Structure 1
Amino acid sequence: MARKDIFKFLEALNENNSKEWMDKNRSWYESAKGEVIDLFDPILESIKEVDPRIIQPNARKSISRINNNLMFHPDRPTYKDHFGVVFGYGRGLADFYVGLGLREIDVAGGLWHPDSEKLKKVRQEIDYEGKRLTEIIKSSAFQDTFELYKADALKTTPKGYAKDHEFIELLRLKSLAAFRQITRKDVYSNGFKDMIVESYMTLVPMLDFINTAITDE
């Protein structure tokens, strides 16, 4: 199965993570990347039919670089152990992500580690419209599929907000994002496309909430 070749390549890369190995196996990398493109092109097409705001013209333009940024993270290996695919509405906005990795296969969306100005705007939106966000994340579709990313949440109270604020748990978040983990079996299944499209549609209300916060003056 072609989809299995994606993970076979990643396994080999993980065992031989060097530029020398990659240079020798560049055609294999391009073949595995091509399988990712073939997998996601129809998914992106279906998503764009229901949400034409997506700016990526095709899956090739949606794949993240497999090189790690060693300038800022010199301790990391030369290459990532996953293929990342990102769909979104523009640079700097909340977006949708699928990561096909060796250790984890993630479907996620939101705003990851925003700068202080964006985080301030998101918190203001939560302060004013927290009830709407609560309704989004407590919907049955969201609850059955996703969970909020809370790993880096503040343990204290963000400046300017009362510790007994109605939405204090949301205000403590430093990233407003949600994720679900799936399996290789899901990727190999005939239902993978529908799973990703449905996941995207479930996250759209949260993405819209975030993007309204960071783009409105």
Structure 2
Amino acid sequence: MNRKVVFDFLEDLSRNNSKEWMDKNRARYEESKSILIEVFDPILEELKLIDPRIVQPNARKSLSRINNNLMFHPDRPTYKDHMGLGFGYGKGLADFYIHLGVHEQLIAGGLWHPSSEKLKLLRQEIDYEGERLNSILNQPFFAKHFTLYEEDMLKGSPKGYASDHPHIHLLKMKSLAAFRPITREDFYSSSFDSMVIESYKAIVPLLDFANVAIQEH
């Protein structure tokens, strides 16, 4: 199995982003998907032994669509420049995600751009249990490898929270998500399976924190 095929396809797609090109290169797309399925099926089986709550039955069902949603974002290209897989506990919950793209590769997880109601519940949990969240973020492996997504934050305090709140930085976030940058070489490596599995173990407490917040009310 030549894993480099995946990135060769994505690079060519990003340079020739059209339905006409995709129709002519559909076999390459299917080959790339097959490689990802072959890589991630055994990883998913291992993850489900660790955490039986994961609902995806196989890697094929975990693959994200490569088509962009042009109905809501007509300015975007027809196709994404990346392929991704998500493993989680059900729609609308924080989950675990692997992103393999032309420009960036990530292992990530969390609650991404939740609804205003879910964000309100998440902030309540941070208000009450901020020290527990900090302890998760400060675990040695997590702190060494993961970075919180902080690009999309409120400039001021959320409504109902003082600017000097001890967890104001966390309260300002519109997502509770973290990512671990990886490289193409990581994906090609024989140790990639263990990298994904150890990353999952490290990020599960963050997923649990978010999911408890949005489910217990």
TM-score, with normalisation over the residues of structure 2?
A: 0.99
Q: CA deviation at 1:141?
A: 1.3
Q: Which residue of 2 aligns with 1:131?
A: 131
Q: Which residue of 2 aligns with 1:40?
A: 40
* Inter-partner Cα distance in structure 1 for 2:14 and 2:176: 30
Deviant stretches of 4+, over 3 Å: none
* 1:181 aligned counterpart, secondary structure: strand
What amino acid sits opposite 2:191 in the alignment? G
Tell me how many residue pairs correspond in the alignment: 217
Q: CA deviation at 1:27?
A: 1.2
* Inter-partner Cα distance in structure 2 for 1:24 and 1:148: 40
**What per-residue deviation string (whole Å, max 9, x for no partner) do you get for residues 105-125 of structure 1?**
011100111110000000000
Query: Within the alignment, does 1:114 sit opposite 2:98 as a pair?
Result: no
Q: CA deviation at 1:154?
A: 1.2
Q: Which residue of 2 aligns with 1:8?
A: 8
Q: Which residue of 2 aligns with 1:146?
A: 146
Q: Which residue of 1 aligns with 2:182?
A: 182
* Inter-partner Cα distance in structure 2 for 1:27 and 1:172: 45
Q: CA deviation at 1:68?
A: 0.3
* Inter-partner Cα distance in structure 1 for 2:82 and 2:216: 34
TM-score, with normalisation over the residues of structure 1?
A: 0.99
Q: Which runs of 5+ in 2 are unaligned?
A: none
- Identity in percent: 65
**What per-residue deviation string (whole Å, max 9, x for no partner) do you get for residues 69-107 of structure 1?**
000111111000111100000000000100110100011
Cα root mean square deviation, aligned: 0.7
What amino acid sits opposite 1:150 in the alignment? E
Q: CA deviation at 1:211?
A: 0.2
* Inter-partner Cα distance in structure 2 for 1:82 and 1:170: 29
* 1:85 aligned counterpart, secondary structure: strand
